[in-house]
Amino acid sequence: MVLHHIVEAQQFNKKTLQEIFIFADRVKERIERGFPLELLRGKILANLFYVKSIRTMFSFETAMKRLGGEVIGTESGEAFSSELVGATLEDTVRMVGSFVDVIVLRHYQSGSAKRAAEVSPVPIINGGDGAAQHPTQAIVDLYCIEKLMGGVDGVSIAFLGNLMNSRTIRSLVYFLAKYSGIKIYFASPRTLKMKDDLKEYLTEHRVSFSESFDSAEDLMEIASKVDILYLTQIPEDHFGDRICDYDKYREIFRINQNILNRLRKDTFIMHPFPRGDELPVQVDKDPRAIYFDQIKYGQFLRMGLLCYVLGVRVD
Amino acid sequence: MVLHHIVEAQQFNKKTLQEIFIFADRVKERIERGFPLELLRGKILANLFYVKSIRTMFSFETAMKRLGGEVIGTESGEAFSSELVGATLEDTVRMVGSFVDVIVLRHYQSGSAKRAAEVSPVPIINGGDGAAQHPTQAIVDLYCIEKLMGGVDGVSIAFLGNLMNSRTIRSLVYFLAKYSGIKIYFASPRTLKMKDDLKEYLTEHRVSFSESFDSAEDLMEIASKVDILYLTQIPEDHFGDRICDYDKYREIFRINQNILNRLRKDTFIMHPFPRGDELPVQVDKDPRAIYFDQIKYGQFLRMGLLCYVLGVRVD
Amino acid sequence: MVLHHIVEAQQFNKKTLQEIFIFADRVKERIERGFPLELLRGKILANLFYVKSIRTMFSFETAMKRLGGEVIGTESGEAFSSELVGATLEDTVRMVGSFVDVIVLRHYQSGSAKRAAEVSPVPIINGGDGAAQHPTQAIVDLYCIEKLMGGVDGVSIAFLGNLMNSRTIRSLVYFLAKYSGIKIYFASPRTLKMKDDLKEYLTEHRVSFSESFDSAEDLMEIASKVDILYLTQIPEDHFGDRICDYDKYREIFRINQNILNRLRKDTFIMHPFPRGDELPVQVDKDPRAIYFDQIKYGQFLRMGLLCYVLGVRVD
């Protein structure tokens, strides 16, 4: 099965993911050997961003250009959508899709990527739609785990911080549920806990998980057990006037020396960036910090993904 | 005669148009045969947009990149023009013209393209200046008519909707006046009727035309006669508080089943997009709807036009 | 010594400048001979602009693309910096630096280029940071002087207008201090005079300079003596309500026929653009006006500079 559109985590199975990883591996190998990368010469990608995201835009743009392809796009989502008031998403996708070979769509509405995929003459890659999903970022993380741990089966992972609103974590958890022997630990402020739908999904798929709220003690306990500590930023504006609450949680969910001491030697620290107080720069030098590798592997994965959806073989 | 700058419809004659169409034909053939398109490798186009237009920007950007060329530009017209306050259009064109090989200019002032052409060291293509003209969009439409009808001479065409403010229709009418046996039907709300200067131009050039206002009956009559029905969107804000007027005209100038029934089997429906209520998506499946072909032919034409003004032969 | 980062004028010596000029010369020669310029094929530059500057952005973008390289970037500085609130400059530079091969940074804070250079995995080119420096623009001017005058040693140059706030003039003066026999004349409104730190720097380095304020007579005298008259725009908003002052200085520091008559035949008129009243378009035809050459040489220099920092030999 070759996926034409990359819309949501649920559409993937382990085999498809493995195929995409092989594409990424081959791109990585070619780059490391210094081979020319003209695989996508003559192809054009459109960054169709109704919501701004410099990070996602940059990463796809670079991936495409590293492969010899070209990119069009608009960085300014609001302006774009206001100009095309009167133009439905469907008409815009049809129009842009008649110009280019692949579209990365970022939109403020859940389900937009699916709507786009239904009318688009070219592959759609979901670059984040509404609060729903951000599957490519999650595939990047999965690829990084696969490469650095030698596989995903049997991995134990703790997700910390803003679990309620992290699209990346949501998508990544859906992916993890496809593997066997996964153990998940959710640790967050109670008001930012993981949503029920996803926990139900895990229960249905018999994935082992636990939850912990507001507790520094639990965190120490969890830290000593897991293969991966996956951090996210706690948003200040979530707490409104309750600035003491913010200060309290910021303190609890920050990586400090005590936590570092409790982590095993082979535990990895991941973070999707941007970071806040939860991840002090002092941690950067710790050999267990792999968040800059996440970025590097992300580029290989995105290049592989582009070749994959465009049906271009990488040998 | 090779045109250096593409400024306004009036500067073209049938022979020049034919030459540009041949460039577009050859590009189309090369693409359909899968030939490499490196014709503009090493050339750079600047999208110099003082007014935002994602659509026009995207279409030239893609055309240039499909031919192996490069593009610089700014999507954000207001910001651009505010930064360059103190820099006249002339100085900006000179500066940018010393960086690149061709400039697509979009500006809020009528006559700007002409001013730019007077000082520019490289070809200027008018991507719309003020309320005046948008010649490239009109050449696109003309090329589409030429290809799909086998020629432009003798064509009968009805323009519907916002005739007063459509630059594309204005430019297209100027072009049509160069051909023989053209019959034009204007049908619009009385407050959005075609301006006098253009009707005088048609009279002078002995082009047959008629006008109809506010009448659904006329529209049925016209629909049964023409080769092409060219629709445009009726702007809600034109009517201010008179929302009933808007509702009335929106109803009259909307393509419905009755109109579709009255159209001949070989009549084409065109639309420059974006669309509003006047063109329901149900019409998309009608074989007479060619507005997505307009977009496709537009890309061939723009590619041909770029080769033409840059003096690059397409064999 | 090969410089990895281009941060400030002080880091250069005459030898390094000469090396960069040789790169620029070779690029110029290749272009003039019509050689293909694929020197930077496969390389990617990021325009990381926290502050908007279309001019600087365009010039680096074109330089990179003329050499076969690619560019990513965001034109919209405010938006960029607001999105990355929470992301420090350091984290952003690390992230972007893992995507691309060279970064052009423009930032609102003095010292930002230095901070970026400390963490960046790829070369940083300072495209202007705060009120401090704009070294590349100054190197461009220096290269232009070198080419058109056959050398920089012994040059006498008058700087006119807004001396207090011109980063380009500040950087250029630092560069000139590295050469021998330089004579500098500062002529400005008293409220826009050159800052003390730079005059102290000149005194320390035994560079001959003089100052003149508010005087049309002095200007005539200076004009008759110098090899180069370097103009800048007097900013209207500097004077607030004192519109008469503005009008007075605008008049004094404007190039008029009297000044042109006093200039030697081999004196050059330079201007970094954009221009205001101080440089009427009538002067453009004067053979001593070389400000459009500044732009042209600027492109060769930027291309040479990119090859230099990327370690790509130009033969």
Would you call A299 and C42 a contact, using CB atoms and an 8 Å cutoff? no
Closest CA to C82 of A310, B164, A75: A75
CA distances from C231 to A117, C128, C271 (A): 56, 19, 5
Of A37, A52, A65, the CB nearest to C83: A52
Taking 80 as the threshold, does the pLDDT of residue C302 lie above it?
yes
- Could you tell me if residue B2 is inside a domain? no
Residue B24: is its pLDDT beyond 90? yes
B315 lies in some domain: no
Tell me, yes or no, whether A156 and A107 share the same domain: no
Listed range (A209-213, B88-92, B119-123) with the worst mean pLDDT: B88-92
- B-C Cβ pairs (cutoff 8 Å, strict): 54
Identify whether B169 is part of a domain.
yes
* Secondary structure (H, E, C), chain A: CCCCCECCHHHCCHHHHHHHHHHHHHHHHHHHCCCCCCCCCCCEEEEEECCCCHHHHHHHHHHHHHCCCEEEEECCHHHHHHHCCCCCHHHHHHHHHHHCCEEEEEECCCCHHHHHHHHCCCCEEEEEECCCECHHHHHHHHHHHHHHHCCCCCCEEEEECCCCCCHHHHHHHHHHCCCCCCEEEEEECHHHCCCHHHHHHHHHCCCEEEEEECCHHHHHHHHCCCCEEEECCCCHHHHCCCHHHHHHHHHHCCCCHHHHHHCCCCCEEECCCCCCCCCCHHHHHCCCECHHHHHHHHHHHHHHHHHHHCCCCCC
Under 8 Å between Cβ of A303 and A66: yes
The answer to whether the CB atoms of B99 and C233 lie below 8 A apart is no
For C289, which DSSP code? B
Binning pLDDT at 50, 70 and 90, where does residue A75 land? low
For position A1, what pLDDT does the model report? 46
Q: Which residues of B touch C58 (CB under 8 A)?
A: 46, 72, 96, 99
All residues at 6 or more sequence positions from C67 whose CB lies less than 8 Å from its CB, including other chains:
C27, C37, C38, C39, C40, C41, C303, C306, C307
Report yes or no: B269 and B289 within 8 Å, Cβ to Cβ: yes
Q: Which of B143, B224, B207 is nearest to B173 (CA)?
A: B207
Distance CA A29, CA A21 (A): 12
Same domain membership, residue B189 and residue B50? no
In a domain, A1, yes or no: no
Which residues in chain B have Cβ-Cβ distances shorter than 8 Å to A80?
A: 54
The beta strands (E) that lie in chain C are given as 44-49, 70-74, 102-107, 124-129, 156-160, 183-188, 208-213, 228-231, 268-270
Domain total of chain A? 2
Task: Give residue C85's pLDDT.
Answer: 55
Residue A89 included in any domain: yes
Give all strands of the β-sheet with B44-49 in edge-to-edge order. Answer: B70-74, B44-49, B102-107, B124-129
pLDDT reported for residue C117: 96
Q: State which residue of chain C sits closest to B80, comparing Cα positions.
A: C54
Q: Is the pLDDT of residue B140 over 90?
A: yes
Measured on CA atoms in the order A244, A249, A252, A255, is the torsion positive or negative?
negative
Q: Cβ–Cβ of C54/B98 closer than 8 Å?
A: no
Same domain for C74 and C197, yes or no, is: no
C66 and C176 part of one domain? no
Chain B residues in contact with A69 by the CB 8 A cut-off are none
Which CATH number characterizes residue B84's domain?
A: 3.40.50.1370
User: Which residues of chain B are within 8 Å of residue C36 when distances are taken between CB atoms?
Assistant: 42
Chains in contact with C, counting 3 or more C-beta pairs less than 8 Å apart as contact? A, B
Q: Which residue on chain C is closest to B70 by alpha carbon?
A: C65
Contacting residues of C for B76, CB less than 8 Å apart: 75-76
The Cβ of residue B51 has, within 10 Å, a number of other Cβ atoms equal to 18
Question: What phi-psi label fits residue C240: left (phi over 0), alpha (psi between -120 and 50 degrees) or beta?
Answer: left
Q: Which amino acid is at B137?
A: Q
Average pLDDT, chain B: 91
Q: Which of the 8 DSSP states describes residue C156?
A: E
Whether residue C62 and residue B72 make contact (CB cut-off 8 A), yes or no, is yes
Do C210 and C149 have their domain in common?
yes
Q: Which of B75, B91, B99 sits opposite C273 (nearest CB)?
A: B91
- Statement to judge: residues C194 and C270 lie in one domain: yes
Q: C97 and C60 in one domain?
A: yes
- Please report the pLDDT score of residue B80 as a whole number: 53
**Res B215: pLDDT:** 92
Among C42, C90, C95, beta carbon nearest to A273: C95
Confidence tier at A88 by pLDDT (50, 70, 90): confident
Q: Do C54 and B100 touch (CB under 8 A)?
A: no
Chains in touch with A (3+ beta-carbon pairs under 8 Å) read B, C
- Complex ipTM: 0.91
The answer to whether residue C3 sits within a structural domain is no
pTM: 0.93
Measured CA distances, B182 to B173, B205, B228 (Å):
10, 11, 11
- Which tokens hold the place of B272? 């420059």
Q: Scanning every residue of chain C, which has its alpha carbon at the shortest distance from the alpha carbon of A293?
A: C98
| Residue B201 Cα, gap to closest chain A Cα (Å) | 32
Residues 6+ apart with CB under 8 A from B263: B223, B224, B229, B269, B288
Rg from Cα positions in chain B: 20
For residues C158-171, one letter each, b for 16 or more C-beta atoms within 10 angstroms of the residue's C-beta and e for the rest, the string is: bbbbbbbebbbbbb
Pick the most confident of A79-93, B104-118, C123-137: B104-118
CA C295 to CA C303: how far, in whole Å?
13
Per-residue pLDDT of A44-64, as tens digits, reads 999 998 888 888 899 999 999
Which residue out of A91, A94, A102, A118 would a mutagenesis test of the B interface target, given it has the greatest number of B Cβ atoms within 10 Å?
Answer: A91
> Residue B30 belongs to what domain range?
9-133+298-309
pLDDT of residue B139: 95
Element (H, E) at B26: helix B14-32
- Residue A82: the pLDDT is 54
> Which residue pairs, CB below 8 angstroms and at least 24 apart, start in C111-116?
C112/C50, C113/C5, C113/C7, C113/C8, C114/C7, C114/C8, C115/C89, C115/C90, C116/C89, C116/C90
pLDDT at C53: 83
What is the chain A residue with the closest CA to C68?
A68
C170 occurs within a structural domain:
yes
Whether residue C122 sits in one domain with residue C20 = yes
B104 lies in the same domain as B171: no
B40 lies in the same domain as B114:
yes
Find the helix or strand (DSSP H, E) in which C306 lies: helix C291-309
Q: What average pLDDT does range A28-35 have in this prediction? A: 90
**Chain B residues near any Cβ of chain A (below 8 Å):** 36-37, 52-55, 58-59, 61-62, 65-66, 75-76, 233, 273-276, 281, 292, 295-296, 299
Are C75 and B72 in contact (CB < 8 Å)? no
The separation between CA A228 and the C-alpha centre of its own chain, rounded to angstroms, equals 15
Give the DSSP H or E segment for C243: helix C243-252
Out of B65, B75, B275, whose CB is closest to A91?
Answer: B275
Q: What is the pLDDT of residues A176-222, one digit of tens each?
A: 999 999 999 999 999 999 999 999 999 999 999 999 999 999 999 99
- Residue C289 and residue C145 share a domain: yes
Residue of C nearest to B89 (CA): C274
Mind listing the pLDDT tens digit for each residue in A266-285? 999 999 988 888 999 999 99
Mean pLDDT of C139-155: 96
What whole-number percentage of chain B has pLDDT above 70?
95
Instruction: Give the mean model confidence (pLDDT) for residues B123-143.
Output: 90
Note the pLDDT tens digit of each residue in A120-142. 999 999 998 887 778 899 999 99
Judge if B104 and B191 occupy the same domain. no
Q: Which of C59, C275, C281 sits opposite B99 (nearest CB)?
A: C59
Nearest-CA distance B38 → chain A (Å):
9
Strand C183-188, strand A183-188: pairing: unpaired
